[in-house]
Amino acid sequence: MIINLRHVGLVVTDLEKAKKFWCELLDFKVEKEMDESGPHIDLMMGLESVSVTTAKLRAPDNSMLELLYFKSHPDKPNWDGTPFSTGLTHISLTVKDLSGSYKTLSEAGVTFPAAPQYSPDGSVKVIYAKGPEGILLELVEELN
């Protein structure tokens, strides 16, 4: 089912300070930064009126870290298992067939806040799932 580990998401309270730490101290490079909002992200996260800035950082070994700064859903500094919690939020996995994966995982009792969603640019189909001990997994099928 899994192709690779796509990225690790980290919610931050100060995006500029976080980028400075990861990029200037640890040699990550900002690959893409964007503001995200709208029905696709609300449904994917099971929230309303989400407004988040995401920064994808590429490590020297080509692995990726995603920094998320939630403007709409600020949180306390401790992890509590939500998509917008400060700290480690989710593990993103690339899958071959998201519809098939969604069906298989649903049948195994894995919970999802909504059905898979298409990104606004149509490049991916994506969904969040609750894994063991409440760990959030983001499953992504690349379409292009």
CATH code of domain 2-142 = 3.10.180.10
pTM (whole model) above 0.85: no
The more confident residue out of 134 and 83 is 83
* Residue-range domain boundaries for the chain: 2-142
Joined together, the tokens standing for residue 46 give: 């099971």
64-70 sheet: strands from edge to edge: 29-37, 51-58, 64-70, 2-11, 87-95, 136-142, 124-130, 117-118
Joined together, the tokens standing for residue 138 give: 């983001």
Answer yes or no: are the C-beta atoms of 67 and 18 closer than 8 Å. yes
Q: What is the mean pLDDT of the chain?
A: 89
Residue 123, classed as helix, strand or coil, is coil
Q: Which amino acid is at 129?
A: A
Answer yes or no: are the C-beta atoms of 73 and 47 closer than 8 Å. yes
Joined together, the tokens standing for residue 73 give: 């859903």
Q: How open is the CA angle 127-9-38, to the nearest 5 degrees?
A: 50
At residue 24, the pLDDT reads 86
Flag whether pLDDT at 81 surpasses 80. Answer: no
Flag whether pLDDT at 47 surpasses 60. Answer: yes
Flag whether pLDDT at 133 surpasses 70. Answer: no
